[in-house]
Structure 1
Amino acid sequence: MNYSNSCPVAMQTQPEYDPPHVTSLAQSLRIAQWRMCLLHSAPQHRLIWLTQGQGRALIDTRRRGIGAHNLIFLPAGHLFALDAGPPPMGHILSVPPGHAGNWPVWPSLARALDVREQGEITALFDAMSREQSMQRSGWADAMGALSQLMAVWLIRVNEGHLLADGSGAPLKDAATHDTAADRLIGAFLSDLERLYPQGAPMASYAERLDVTATHLSRVCKARLGRSASELIVERTLHAARDRLETTSTPVKDIAAGLGFRSAAYFSRFIQSHTGNSPRALRKRAREATERARQTAAS
């Protein structure tokens, strides 16, 4: 077949959709540590590759040790939080919904055990960072293809190197939730992610789960290092700060959308947990965004 008269494929520099995105973990923590350290979820799949440092993180239904050469996978909508402390080094790959790739259904924590595996994952992140930075023709398609390759790599590594707490013990399939505590925490976190905008108190969660509030808090504290009430506060605070700092929604509407009885009560909540008023948080975030914009333009 003669292709000499074929029309060339147009490669767009600006994508028509949101491609996968790579960010520096340490930079993200320096700019706004609360975004990673308060309990939260994300609408994208996230793959976190740790290259240096160590700490602990809430992943699935347990608080787990993490360290260098760990790979954390968080499906869209799953709750996660890093413990506050010295920021680890690494990268975050965010994959928006709708992108191809055989991503796992459940969160996972794996360790790249040998130099070859570490080199493969580092090379993929480096390639994605270059594509994202240079934005040559077809860069968004390249990001999508590389993220699909990353999904394949993740499945391969997970087959043999899943970790429960950094000790090398295998991580049980999260779908089994094989203990009563796992089942209780899993159900509580699922309810929390769906119901926190209603502003329900901890007692109402316990009632839904048919346990006492004391028992629910005790199990959460033992497994996650946070009581049930603390988890509710964290999830609500993260959502509140995100809406204050990234939108122009009136404070009274944010308060109503998170189940607060009044804007005044919401303001006291924010002041108590951040030391700043809602208006001050919003002002600081806008100033930081403007500084970042000017730095990028210079």
Structure 2
Amino acid sequence: MPGSAVPAYWLYGERIGGRFPDALHIEPIVARSALHGWTIQPHVHHQLVQMFLVTGGGGSTRIDGQDHALEPGSALLLPPSTIHEFRFIVGTEGYVASVAEPALRRLFDAEPEGRSLLSKPALLPAAPGLPAFGTLLGLMDLAMAEFTANRPNRDFALGAYADLIVTWFSRELRGAGRAGEAALDPRARLVRRFVERVEQRFLAHDPLTGYARALGVSVPHLSRSCRELLGLSAARVIQDRLMIEARRDLVYTASSVAQISFRLGFSDPAYFSRFFSARAGLSPSEYRAKA
């Protein structure tokens, strides 16, 4: 299984059965990181969307095998099943907000493109002093105040803050200029359904014609919709999903390249190596050695 050596938690260090009862869980970065020496080991959350805002300090994060720097103003989105770890600078300040993915179903139904936009990890610069940073920090501050209080309608309020924080990331990812037009666009619904089907079927290596047929559209229309809304061809969406899984296995498991290739549905390890090298610029073995 992918990432079999990586522990799965509800919140870091907490067993999956111990789910928090709130619509939104929010805490300062220091609350959990300081307990673990400011180093968070590789782990994964299932059905949990996490959103970070670094307001001071920083450090680095590794997400699905790729390293990224964290600086003041970094806003990080981690969708479910993303393997991640952190090396924080001592004293790093900021927030981490966690939302159960099922709680966002209403938002995704109203804003179909949102599911596609929020399906991949994203690190956004929200530099201090810019309006976007102030908006997200304000939402996090208010959500934190609500979370720590015991006021009437607390669950309702936390759910509202969860929607607003997720909406901030959705708007930043696609550009505020397009906010509001996607919900009425049938292409957005098509792309959402396609991304969901890719998540379910990518290991089967279905041809693009099979995806298009299952969605009731032509291959050109599917590819054109993906390019217009995601900036990627439909084929690239499938390939990128395979690459995410390949990088996870190379970094977080001891499986051989041949074993990984067969698990990912490739009948020929040599073809898998060519596929990976063409997209990563490194062979699977070189990527693993460098990771």
Q: What TM-score do you get using the length of structure 1 for normalisation?
A: 0.54
Are 1:20 and 2:24 matched, yes or no? yes
For 2:133, the aligned partner's letter is Q
Alpha-carbon shift at residue 49 of structure 1 (Å): 0.6
Residue aligning to 1:137? 152
Residue aligning to 1:205? 260
- Cα distance 1:189–1:33, how it changes in 2: closer, same or farther (>3 A)? farther
- Counterpart among 106, 110, 126 of residue 112 in structure 1: 126
Alpha-carbon shift at residue 175 of structure 1 (Å): 8.8
- Counterpart among 79, 83, 90 of residue 87 in structure 2: 83
- Cα distance 1:109–1:177, how it changes in 2: closer, same or farther (>3 A)? farther
Alpha-carbon distance in 2 for matches of 1:138, 1:44: 23
The alignment of Structure 1 onto Structure 2 pairs a total of residues equal to: 194
For 1:130, the aligned partner's letter is A
In structure 2, stretches of 5+ residues that fail to align are 1-19, 109-113, 177-229, 274-281
Alpha-carbon distance in 2 for matches of 1:71, 1:49: 5
For 1:140, the aligned partner's letter is D
Alpha-carbon distance in 2 for matches of 1:202, 1:29: 33
Residue aligning to 1:98? 102
Alpha-carbon distance in 2 for matches of 1:50, 1:175: 33
Identical aligned residues as a percent: 19
Residue aligning to 2:169? 154
Alignment of 1:35-74 (within 5 A): 36-60=40-64, 62-74=66-78
Alpha-carbon shift at residue 82 of structure 1 (Å): 1.6
| SS, match of residue 117 in structure 1 | helix
- Cα distance 1:82–1:217, how it changes in 2: closer, same or farther (>3 A)? farther
Residue aligning to 1:245? none
Alpha-carbon shift at residue 131 of structure 1 (Å): 0.9
- Counterpart among 186, 192, 195 of residue 244 in structure 2: 186
Alpha-carbon distance in 2 for matches of 1:81, 1:138: 34
Alpha-carbon shift at residue 129 of structure 1 (Å): 0.8
Are the counterparts in 1 of residues 42 and 83 from structure 2 also a CA contact under 8 Å?
Answer: no
Deviation per CA, 1:79-130: give whole Å up to 9, x if none: 1122365353211000013213345111111111443222211111111111
Residue aligning to 1:284? none
Deviation per CA, 1:199-254: give whole Å up to 9, x if none: 87345325546257x942421344xxx3xxxxxxxxxxxxxxxxxxxxxxxxxxxx
Q: What TM-score do you get using the length of structure 2 for normalisation?
A: 0.55
Alpha-carbon distance in 2 for matches of 1:174, 1:24: 36
Aligned CA-pair RMSD = 3.8
Runs of 4+ that moved beyond 3 A: 39-43, 83-87, 172-179, 181-185, 189-193, 199-203, 206-209
